[in-house]
């Protein structure tokens, strides 16, 4: 069971995090755009600071939209994971985001799983 803690809903986007065993899962939901990337960045910073394992999963299954600034934030998180030696996994990409990542060739850059459950099994 994952218990999420994070920021309060903020006009169309939320980011929360919780532990599943020792693996930290950050869940993003709503529209990730220029105005909401600071919300994700703040929750990711909390997650990096609370990390107890060498894996962090970002669950994007509840994301309804992601623009280029949101993709930039995902790349920043991936870079942070590389620098810290943490396995950074994104799970649940679909729709707009899946199309954008594929067109940009970024599905080869990120470690991607269809669901959090599958990412947890691999972790």
Q: Which CATH class is domain 14-122?
A: alpha beta
Q: How far apart are CA 105 and CA 95, in angstroms?
A: 16
- Please report where in the chains the tokens 């950074």 appear, as a residue: 88
Over the stretch 16-58, which tens digit does the pLDDT of each residue have?
Answer: 999 998 899 999 999 999 999 999 999 999 999 998 889 999 9
Cβ-based neighbour number of residue 66 at 10 Å? 26
Q: Which of 33, 28, 61 is nearest to 47 (CA)?
A: 28
pLDDT tens readout for residues 90-109:
999 998 889 989 999 998 99
Structure-token pair, residue 104: 């940009």
E strand or H helix that includes residue 2:
none
Q: Where are the domains of the chain?
A: 14-122
């Amino acid at each position: 069971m994952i218990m999420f803690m994070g920021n309060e809903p903020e006009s169309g986007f939320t980011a929360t995090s919780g532990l599943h065993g020792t693996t930290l899962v950050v869940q993003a939901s709503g529209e990730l755009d220029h105005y909401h990337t600071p919300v994700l960045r703040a929750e990711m910073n909390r997650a990096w600071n609370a990390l107890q394992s060498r894996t962090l999963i970002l669950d994007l299954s509840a994301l309804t939209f992601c623009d280029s600034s949101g993709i930039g934030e995902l790349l920043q998180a991936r870079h942070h994971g590389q620098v810290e030696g943490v396995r950074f996994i994104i799970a649940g990409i679909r729709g707009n985001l899946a199309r954008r990542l594929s067109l940009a060739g970024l599905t080869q850059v990120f470690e991607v799983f269809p669901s959090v459950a599958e990412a947890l099994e691999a972790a």
